[in-house]
Chains A and B, each alone.
Chain A
Amino acid sequence: GAVVSQHPSWVICKSGTSVKIECRSLDFQATTMFWYRQFPKQSLMLMATSNEGSKATYEQGVEKDKFLINHASLTLSTLTVTSAHPEDSSFYICSARVAGIETQYFGPGTRLLVL
């Protein structure tokens, strides 16, 4: 149980294009989903918190117009990196949790490379 998937697992794109990453909870309904970013050999940095049906809450320093988050249903959240630049290249990971339960279950991550 508690399986979270991400798609795609790996994406290469040209600078200036937009990339959409999907995060799905496969066997449970996630009231909250989180988006993280991880640079090589560094910790996971929370980018934003996404609650179903409401606007995402972004962490300080994260551009909400650049990283668009949509949480359309209790099993799906999407992160769109708009007008991607090489500095956006990173490993993006989502997680999901059920209200009242502290544990977050993570997806396998998406490796983004912007050329």
Chain B
Amino acid sequence: DQQVKQNSPSLSVQEGRISILNCDYTNSMFDYFLWYKKYPAEGPTFLISISSIKDKNEDGRFTVFLNKSAKHLSLHIVPSQPGDSAVYFCAAGSGNTGKLIFGQGTTLQVKP
């Protein structure tokens, strides 16, 4: 049972345009969500997070939107840069255990 899903395995965007990465979840008990960026053979790097009590969080070029009723979140990157090319994972957690459930990842390619 995949509680966190990233249905798009890949996304290609032109440099300067907006990249939108999507994530859906099934467990309404999740109360925080995070986005990580990962290069091959490296550990994930934390990008941005959002609490379930918010619907938007912004940090520089990165904005995360949360739609609780739809159990959907998205990461917007604008403007996209070639260095943003990587695999992006969304993750969800609940309570104080700290455990995160990860999506399958979306490979973003930003073309110059």
- A49 part of interface (Cβ distance < 8 Å): yes
User: Which of B44, B46, B98, B104 meets A42, CB within 8 Å?
Assistant: B104
A43 touches B44 (CB 8 A): no
Interface centre among A2, A100, A102, A103 (most CB of B within 10 A): A102
| Contact A106 B103, CB 8 Å, known A32-B98, A43-B89, A49-B97 | no
- A21 part of interface (Cβ distance < 8 Å): no
Interface centre among A91, A103, A108 (most CB of B within 10 A): A103
- A74 part of interface (Cβ distance < 8 Å): no
B99 touches A109 (CB 8 A): no
B44 touches A34 (CB 8 A): no
How many chain B residues touch A (CB < 8 A): the figure is 22
Residues of A within 8 A of B36 (CB): 106
Expressed in whole angstroms, the minimum distance between the Cβ of B9 and any Cβ of chain A is: 9
Interface footprint category on A: 20 to 34
User: Which of A4, A97, A99, A100 meets B43, CB within 8 Å?
Assistant: A4
Binary per-residue interface labels of chain B (63-91) against chain A in the complex, 1 for a CB within 8 Å, 0 otherwise = 00000000000000000000000000100
B49 touches A103 (CB 8 A): yes
Residues of B within 8 A of A106 (CB): 36, 43-46
B41 touches A109 (CB 8 A): yes
Which B residues contact A (CB, under 8 angstroms)? Answer: 32, 34, 36, 41-46, 49, 89, 93, 96-105
Which A residues contact B (CB, under 8 angstroms)? Answer: 2, 4, 6, 32, 34, 42-46, 49, 91, 93, 95, 97, 99-100, 102-109, 111
